[in-house]
Amino acid sequence: MINPWIIATFGSALPGWLLATITGAIGTVAVLVFTLVSALAAIWIERKLISRMQVRYGPNRVGPKGLLQPFADALKVIGKEAITPFGVDKVVYSAAPFIIFLAPLLTFGLVPFAPGAAVLNTDISLLLVVALGALGVVPIFMAGWASNNKYSLMGAMRSIAQTVSYEIPLVLSLVGLVVVTGSLKLEDLVVYQIQHGWFIFLQPLAAVIFFIAGSAELNRTPTDIMEGESELAAGYHIEYSGFKFSLFYATEYSHVFAVSALISVLFLGGWGTGPLLDLVPAVVWMVLKTYLLFCVFVWTRATLPRLRMDQLMAFAWKFLLPLSLINIMVVALEELLGLPGIVVAVVNMVLAVVLIVQWTRLLGSNGQSPERRVYIQRPATAQ
């Protein structure tokens, strides 16, 4: 928003390299601030929302309604002694928390919050975003391996297996979008959605797959097996404390925000609101959608138990992968036939429901509607 204004005002007066530096710096600062503020806000939102779902009050001591609680937490965590356990690989151990913070940060740099408001507005931003999503696994493995702890190593191994599995349906679910729009630029996708309707209606199957696979990359329940606090205590960051731990902690939340922002850009029309409500600035809508999606993630976390490792893998390979392939074929066929948008939406919605229901049947006993076991049997001989 500021950058176009800068370009418009000083564009002729300043040399190109200076202009690029200034706009880049402003964008970077904006993204950094947004990421950190979001991470802090996320902690408060999640704790408050989950506690209300659990009939508790949640944080309400520090500041009004506990709003300052994240700051108090941050101060506390940063103030803790940074313990480096014996036998760790010091370089890798120290580097991991900083690298892990990069992935959500860079993702935010690519997300267009308003028309032309992405810091880095390249033509292949979709590809970059997907690549950055997979970047998160490297520091997790670094942390898990360097910590010299079996639990963290187990968490790291689980994380790699999971991310590799879920990256495939994640990417494949986006192919349908690219087929339709013919562009790898996130902004083009949003513009297409504003013109033709949101992708959550046009390609609901892709939306479901992306949501599930995206949440699997966030290490949050029901797919937080790499962290699994009831099994692995804390997983890959078990040996971290102090500031380094706070980076892991903040990353978890900003990563959720990054994925929420991506989903709203890819499937919920980005800054677009449809024909109504164009008075409110575009960026507000974008942020609103992101926060709402974050609340959905919190909601699932408060409800669902964790899946086991093999079940999670089976879900990715047996359920998400074939469905995403079918989705690509169907979308390509529709594009070839040149069907009108409303027909595509209806066909795809029906297809999504039918496919999901039928495919879970194929998966075997897990998909069957459960049988009720009988527990009360009257004794044959009366007492």
Partner 1 sequence: MVTSNPYMVNMGPQHPSTHGVLRLRLVLDGEQVLRVEPVLGYLHSSKEKLQEEHTYLQTVPITDRMDYLAAMTNNLGVSLAIEKLAGIQSPPRAECLRVIMSELQRLASHCFAQGVFLQDLGAWGSPLMYFLREREQILDMFEMVCGARLTYNYIRPGGVSQDIPPQFTPAVNSFLDTFPAKLDEYEELLWKNEILRARTVGVGVVSRELAVSAAFSGPMLRASGVQWDLRKQDPYCGYQNYEFDIPVGQTGDCFDRFMVRFYEMRESLKIVRQALDVLPPGEWKAAVPIVIRPPAGEAFQMIESPRGMLGYYLVSDGGANPWRFHVRAPSFINLGALNEMLVGTTMADVVAIVGSIDIVMGEVDR
Partner 2 sequence: MVGSGILNGLLTVLKHIGQKPYTRQYPEEALVPPGRFRGYDFGWSEERCTGCATCAKACPHGCIDIVTDPLPNGRYSIEVFDIDLGKCMVCGLCVEVCPYDALFMGTKFALATENRWDLVVHKEDIGSRPDLSGYYRPAFQNHAAPRAEMRADYGVSKGVAKPAAEEKKA
Q: Which of 31, 58, 179 has its CA nearest to residue 112?
A: 31
Work out whether 304 is an interface residue with partner 1 (CB under 8 A): yes
Residue 133 and residue 217 in contact, taking contact as beta carbons nearer than 8 Å: yes
| CA distances for 68 relative to 30, 37, 375, angstroms | 22, 12, 50
Work out whether 356 is an interface residue with partner 2 (CB under 8 A): yes
Report in angstroms how near the CB of residue 220 gets to partner 1 at its nearest.
9
Q: Which of 138, 96, 79 has its CA nearest to residue 248?
A: 96
Rule CB under 8 A: choose which of 9, 98, 299, 329 binds partner 2: 299
CA distance 154 to 164: 16
Please, how many CA atoms are within 13 Å of residue 309, restricted to the half-sphere of its CB?
Answer: 13
Residue 171 and residue 130 in contact, taking contact as beta carbons nearer than 8 Å: yes
CA distance 294 to 298: 6
Cβ proximity to partner 1, 149 vs 203, nearer residue: 149
Cβ proximity to partner 1, 232 vs 344, nearer residue: 232
Report in angstroms how near the CB of residue 139 gets to partner 1 at its nearest.
22
Rule CB under 8 A: choose which of 15, 16, 64, 377 binds partner 1: 377
Contacts of 267 (CB under 8 A, 6+ apart): 198, 199, 200, 203, 206, 207, 210
Element (H, E) at 33: helix 16-53
Rule CB under 8 A: choose which of 55, 279, 336, 374 binds partner 2: 55
Work out whether 361 is an interface residue with partner 2 (CB under 8 A): yes
Rule CB under 8 A: choose which of 15, 64, 340, 378 binds partner 1: 378
CA distance 103 to 36: 14
Report in angstroms how near the CB of residue 222 gets to partner 1 at its nearest.
6
Please choose which of partner 1, partner 2, none residue 232 contacts, taking the beta carbon within 5 to 8 angstroms, the exact cut-off set by kind: partner 1
Work out whether 151 is an interface residue with partner 1 (CB under 8 A): yes
Rule CB under 8 A: choose which of 10, 303, 308, 364 binds partner 2: 303
Rule CB under 8 A: choose which of 59, 133, 204, 228 binds partner 1: 228
Please choose which of partner 2, partner 1, none residue 310 contacts, taking the beta carbon within 5 to 8 angstroms, the exact cut-off set by kind: partner 1
Chain residues 305-364 in contact with partner 1, contact rule CB under 8 A: 305-311
Work out whether 86 is an interface residue with partner 1 (CB under 8 A): no
Cβ proximity to partner 1, 76 vs 150, nearer residue: 150
Please choose which of partner 2, partner 1, none residue 104 contacts, taking the beta carbon within 5 to 8 angstroms, the exact cut-off set by kind: none
Residue 305 and residue 152 in contact, taking contact as beta carbons nearer than 8 Å: no
Tell me if residue 273 falls in helix, strand or coil: strand
| CA distances for 175 relative to 188, 204, 338, angstroms | 14, 13, 17
Please choose which of partner 2, partner 1, none residue 375 contacts, taking the beta carbon within 5 to 8 angstroms, the exact cut-off set by kind: partner 1
Instruction: Specify the DSSP class assigned to residue 315.
Output: I
Q: Give me the residues that bind partner 1 (CB under 8 A), please.
A: 50, 53-56, 150-151, 154, 157-158, 221-222, 224-225, 228-233, 301-311, 365-366, 369-370, 372-379, 383
